Amino acid sequence: QRADEAKSIFLANMSHEIRTPLNAIIGFSELLSKNKELTKENKKQAKIIQISANSLLSIINDILDISKIESGNFDITIEKTDLYFISEHVVELFSKKANQKEIKLIFNLDNKIPLCVLTDGIRIRQVLSNLLSNAIKFTQKQGEVTLNINLIEEQEDRCKIRFEVKDNGIGIEEEKKEKIFKPFIQIDHKSNREYEGTGLGLSISSHIIQSLGSQLEVESEVGKGSSFFFTLELNSCIDNLHMSKTKKTEEKSIKYRGKVLVAEDNEANQELISYILDSMNIQYSIQENGLKALEEYKEDIYDIVLMDINMPILDGVESFKQIREYEKKNLLKKTPIIALTANAVKGDKEKFLSLGMDGYLSKPINTSDLYKLFDLFLIKNE
C-alpha cells in the first residue's frame, strides 16, 4: 500500500512538472497557428509543434490512467452528454490524419439517437479517439475507416446504442485478440516496428467500457481488417441546453466585461495567459504567487480569479482561504475562484470544489475551456 501511495505521489509530481511546460508549448503553438501575420509555412510548423505536444500529453494521460486503473482509483462521471457533438468533434479531429494517408473516413450517425443522454462523455470521446487512432494507424493508404453509431433499442427514457469503429487494414491474428486489451501490448512489437504507440489505448478503452457496464469486443481477420464495437444502455434526458445536430461551436474573439486576477508563478504560462486575455480584450492582473495575489485582491475589484495551486511563498489553496476570510470579514460578495493546476490525479477536482472553489481547470489550458468558463462568470460585450 505504501508503494502504491509513493507511486501515486510520484506520478502526481511528474504530471505537474511535465504539464506545466507543455501548457506553454501547446498554448503558444495554437496562438501561432492562428496568427494571420505568419506565412503559410510558419503556420504549418506551429501546427506540427502543437500536434506533437498534444501527442506527448496524450501519452502522459494514458500512463496516469493506467496507474489509476491499477490502484482502483479510476473515475467515471455520469452527466448530461451530447453524443452528436462528441462524435462530430472526434471525426473532425481525425479527418486530417486520415486525409494525409489518403484514407476514406466515413461517419454514420443514427438520427434517432436522443440529443441528450446520461453517461461519461469525456471517457466515450477518449474511447472513440483511441479506436479511430488505431484504425487509421493500421490501415494502409487509400483504405477505409468507418465510425458507426446506431440506436438499437429505445424504451421510454432508456436507449441502447451501439458504437463501432471498423477498418480494412492489416487485421489481427487470432492468438493476439485476447492479449490486445492488456496494458503495454502492441500488435507490432518489433524494434524496427512500423506503427508507433504505447500499447495502452485499448487497455484503457476496455476498462472504460467495463466501467460503463459493457464490453469492448473485436472481430478481425488478417489482411481484411478489424471491427471494434461496444453497446451501451443509457438513460436519455430532456435537456434545455442549446443542443443541435448540426450547429457546431465556433471559437471567436468574444469580448467580455469584467476584470480577471491570475495567480501563476511560471513565466511562460504568465505570457500565454496574457496573450489569451489580450485577445479577449479583457482587463487582468497577473501575480507570481499567492501572497501577491491576495494583496492585489484587497487593492482592487475583480470579477473572477484564476488561482494556480502550486506556487512559492503562499500556495493557491491558502491564498484562496485568506481571500474568503477577507470577503467574510468585510461583508463582500464572494468572487468566483477557479483552481488552475497541472496536477491530474484522482480527487484533485473534488478536493478543490469541496474547499469552496468555483471551478477547476487542468493544465495544459484549453482556450475553449476558458471561453466556457468566462461564459459562466462574466458578461459578454454586445
Which of 71, 103, 127 corresponds to the end of one domain? 71
The total number of structural domains in the chain stands at 3
Same domain for 232 and 121, yes or no, is yes
Residues 172 and 111 placed together within one structural domain of the fold: yes
Q: For residue 242, is it within any domain?
A: no
State the average pLDDT over residues 225-243: 78
Last residue of a domain, one of 48, 71, 94: 71
Write out pLDDT tens, residues 80-134.
888 998 898 889 888 888 998 999 999 999 989 988 899 998 889 989 999 999 9
* Residue 135 resides in a domain: yes
Burial (Cβ within 10 Å: 0-12, 13-18, ≥19) of residue 118: middle
Mean pLDDT of 320-334: 94
Region 156-172 average pLDDT: 93
Q: Do residue 95 and residue 228 come from a single domain?
A: yes
pLDDT score for 296: 95
Q: How confident is the model at residue 165 (pLDDT cuts 50, 70, 90)?
A: very high
Distance CA 311, CA 322 (A): 15
| Mean pLDDT score, 225-239 | 88
Q: What are phi and psi of 118, to 5 degrees?
A: -100, 110
**145, 49: one domain:** no
Q: Is there a single domain that holds both residue 57 and residue 135? A: no
**Mean pLDDT taken over the chain:** 83
**pLDDT band at residue 343, thresholds of 50, 70 and 90?**
low
- Which phi and psi angles does 37 have, rounded to 5°? -80, -15
Q: Does residue 224 carry a pLDDT above 80?
A: yes
Question: Number of C-alpha atoms within 13 angstroms, CB side, residue 22?
Answer: 25
| Residue 115 lies in domain | 79-236
Scan for cell 473532425, then name that residue.
92
**Residue 246 domain flag:** no
The pLDDT of residue 341: 80
Position 28 scores a pLDDT of 84
- pLDDT tens by residue, 136-158: 999 999 899 999 999 999 888 89
